[in-house]
Chains A and B, each alone.
Chain A
Amino acid sequence: MDIGELILSTVRMATPILLVALAELYSERAGLVNIGLDGIMSFGALAGFMVCFITGSPFLGILAGAMGGILINMIYAYCTISLCAEQIVYGMAINIFAPAVASFIYRIYFGVSSTLAQDTLMKSIAIPYLKDIPFLGKLLFDQTPMVYFAYLMVVFTAIFFNKTKKGLNYKAVGEYPKAAETLGINVIRQKYVACMICGALAGIGGAYLTTCYVNTYSDGVVAGRGFIALSAVIFGRWSSGGVLLACLLFGFCDALQLRLQIMNTSTPYQLFQMIPYVCTLVALAAFGIKKAGPKANGKPYMREER
């Protein structure tokens, strides 16, 4: 088996998951569990595809994906933050709602034809010098800008949450919202900001699929990647480095699974697809409550009456 191809494929498959997992990380760090990632992604995928198709610019497509993601996630934000409704219910509702809207818009705009509409794919940009590193250079430094963006986001996120005051305040919202409020942090505003970041990143993750990965949109293009991203956040213990490793692991499993199938068609691919979830469960059970993420995760925050 060609190891280089396998690693390349791992990077390709891990990138959208990584973007969306970071989205979830920003959301959960503010105490908001958002399981509507699949939905946000599919809407981002459509918005990205359409804008890219119309304007011919993948970068505008990515931007549109981010906007679309924010738009959809505002439903979740308003209902869970301002109305203090069940986060899980809204996540799932978005998972029904957003793909249906995306499919609907596509059908209305493109109609039914025996060929799929195709947009322009983002070109990969090689980084000078680094790309000349033997073996790894071609694999890691000759990618689309979005891949670099994803990895830079990992670094940025790590610094932001651990080294900056803003980041620590942000984390406080997810850990002890009441205490954060007394310290003068506007918890509600911070949560909305978190939702915007989450929507934007998840939307970009979706748009990546249709503007950098494949050049068509079809219903179901997201194919459950949002839930794998959710697992990656937990498996990566809510730290950006951990999330990166988790995404690479899950991407590798998927890439390996597809390669094994080519060699032997009777591979039970469901076993491989279970890996992210089983890994997450085992990891959760192993590290228990102490490392089980932000303390106020999933809990609605009701501001005291003034």
Chain B
Amino acid sequence: MKKVFALVLTLAMALSLAACGAASKPAASASGSAAASGSAAASGYKVAMVCDSSISDGGWGAACYNAMVDAAADLGWETAYSDSVAQSDYASSITSYCDLGYNMIFLPGNQYSDATVQVAKDYPDICFAVLNGAEDLPTDNITSILPNADEIGYMAGALAGLMTKTNVLGFIGGMEIDTTKAKLAGYEAAAKAVNPDITVLSAYAGSFDDTAKGMELANGMLSKNADVFFGDASAVDSGARQAIDTANGDGEIGIYDIGQPADLLGQNPCVICSVVTDNAGMLKLAMQDAQAGSFGNKTIYGSFENGCLSVGAFNDELVSADIQSAYMDFIDQMAAGTFPG
């Protein structure tokens, strides 16, 4: 009896090994990390991203992943990622990368702060870069990367204020997190500074990936005459844009959307402009710190003034030259600290 058991076991083992062996041949040429670094010469450094949404969500996840890949390609770092990680698994996922000898872990959001602090204690030699991390978060091995959410809101709000004809604006958020709330507040403040009669409708989808919900929320706002939209909810935003396109129909485009964090002009006909956040540039600064050994205990700010935030390309057919120049005036005032006051 035992003999047969042993036989079966060895057989199975041999089979699986054979399968592995056979399969590994074509892999030899492309071994190592699937998300290998770009053409730049390897620097020996490795960075990994742990993300709760999917990196192919066409929104936040994708933008952050691309930012990491771009920054890493410039400096010759290797990259890796884990996406769709549940909040309760953040810590163990981060720990995995620490154990694998990654030099830096990139956490794209404030929601990773607690897990990061917990793990960072045990791995003093590894650098942790938290995007949108709070200013009091940094320690010896944690750096916050903080694009100015107020300014993002101002930049979108000013344009929305100039473009609206109905004086009703829409804003769709994913989760009620600090940065989203700040963007909403900035959006509202700037729009009202441009035109005091404006009201802003806002709602949270409670999700970053329920596209249909974005569509329904946008429809609800459309029925209340909102005509310029801005959002902070990844895939949910793409649903909203679709609802706007549908509402515009085949005729003239009269309802607009402002994209972020990448330049989304051309993705949907309704996109008139984008507020672009250069996460790659800020992450690159953090990586250079790590290489130079000066990482930690600081917050890398991203603002319009230092070039990390910028105005994307305009849709020239929808945004007239007059409005564009009026808008750029507001942006200059914002840079000078006098807008929205």
Contact = CB atoms under 8 A, between A and B. Distances in A.
Tell whether any CB of A sits under 8 Å from a CB of B in the complex: yes
Interface in A27-53: none
B54 A114 contact: no
A96 B211 CA distance: 21
A216 B242 contact: yes
Interface string B217-232: 1011101100000000
B203 to A, nearest CB: 4
A5 B224 CA distance: 10
A84 interface: no
B210 A9 contact: no
B215 A116 contact: no
Contacts of B239: 214, 216
Contact of B207 (A113, A116, A220): A220
Contact of A110 (B56, B201, B202, B215): B56
B55 interface: yes
B203 A214 contact: no
Contacts of B219: 5, 9
Contacts of A265: 202-204
B167 interface: no
A115 interface: yes
A298 B204 CA distance: 39
A258 interface: yes
A245 to B, nearest CB: 21
Interface in B135-151: none
How many B residues are at the interface, by size bracket? 35 or more
B56 A115 contact: no
A261 interface: yes
B54 A216 contact: no
Contact of B58 (A5, A103, A116): A116
A2 B213 contact: no
Interface in B205-259: 206-207, 209-213, 215-217, 219-221, 223-224, 235, 238-239, 242
B203 A219 contact: no
A261 B203 contact: yes
Contacts of A106: 56
A62 interface: no
B246 to A, nearest CB: 8
Given A103-B54, A115-B262, 6 more contacts: A103-B84, A114-B58, A214-B239, A221-B211, A258-B203, A262-B202
30 contacts: A2-B223, A5-B223, A9-B219, A13-B216, A103-B54, A113-B56, A113-B62, A113-B66, A114-B59, A114-B66, A115-B58, A115-B62, A115-B264, A115-B267, A116-B59, A116-B238, A213-B212, A213-B215, A214-B242, A216-B58, A216-B211, A218-B54, A218-B56, A223-B212, A258-B203, A258-B213, A262-B201, A262-B203, A262-B217, A262-B220
> 8 shortest A-B CB distances, which residue pairs?
A116-B58, A220-B209, A5-B223, A218-B235, A261-B203, A214-B211, A114-B262, A2-B223
Interface of B: 54-59, 62-63, 65-66, 84, 201-204, 206-207, 209-213, 215-217, 219-221, 223-224, 235, 238-239, 242, 262, 264, 267
